[in-house]
Amino acid sequence: MKQKLLLLVAVGFAVGLTFPYVSLDSADSRLTVQPGLHYAVLVVHIFTAAVALVVGPLQFMPRVRARRRLHRVLGRVYLLGGVLPSALATVPVAIWSGRPLTQVGLTTAAVLWLATGVLAYRAARRRDFTAHRAWMMRNYALTLLAVTARLLVPLLLLTQLPFGGAPDPKALIPAGQTLGWIVNLIVAELLIRRASASRGSPAAVR
């Protein structure tokens, strides 16, 4: 049930994220971009992030996990068709933003996104499925930055209102982006440790 709800949320956000870019017209971009390479990299980042966002919850569904071949295929789609290209595209997108917090925050998130994906793959290859699941949870927590950041910005805006009016929402985007992946990883770690405690085994961190 939780996985299905997560999938519905992921699909909804994926549609919302990609819709302005379906036309492939830089004039429709929600971000200020230059036509050409800048816009093309942004489009790659957004559409591959949407792939990861939607495919991720399927990997946690018991029925999918029980069908090992399907689980492996979807895992490759998630990592190679979603996480890898989107994370690589994140770095130039962050740098081109011109915002120091975005540059540092999103680049760090991209590196962690790749690292946790590699660790999840390595754990699966050595058939350490407990560690594999833990690293995949951390990895998908970073994928969910696309959702969390867009929820945090309005909340940050509301917290600023009592202290001198309404700031520019765009000014809060870097903070929302950085806080998003930090909050997500904390939540993921709590869930991993709770699941580990219920099994009576140490948390999978290797």
* pLDDT one-digit tens code per residue, 34-80: 888 989 999 999 999 999 999 999 999 999 989 999 999 999 999 99
Buried b (16+ CB within 10 A) or exposed e, 92-110: bbbebbebeebbebbbebb
pLDDT-based confidence at residue 83 (cuts at 50, 70, 90): very high
Q: Provide the whole-model pTM.
A: 0.88
**DSSP code, position 83:** I
Distance (Å, whole) CA 117 – CA 140: 9
Q: What is the pLDDT of residues 191-200, one digit of tens each?
A: 999 988 877 6
Distance (Å, whole) CA 67 – CA 63: 7
Phi-psi region of 127 (alpha: psi -120 to 50; beta: other; left: phi over 0): left
Percent of the chain predicted with pLDDT > 90: 66
Q: What is the pLDDT of residues 90-102, one digit of tens each?
A: 999 999 988 899 9
Other beta carbons within 10 angstroms of residue 25's beta carbon come to: 11
pLDDT at position 174, please?
Answer: 85
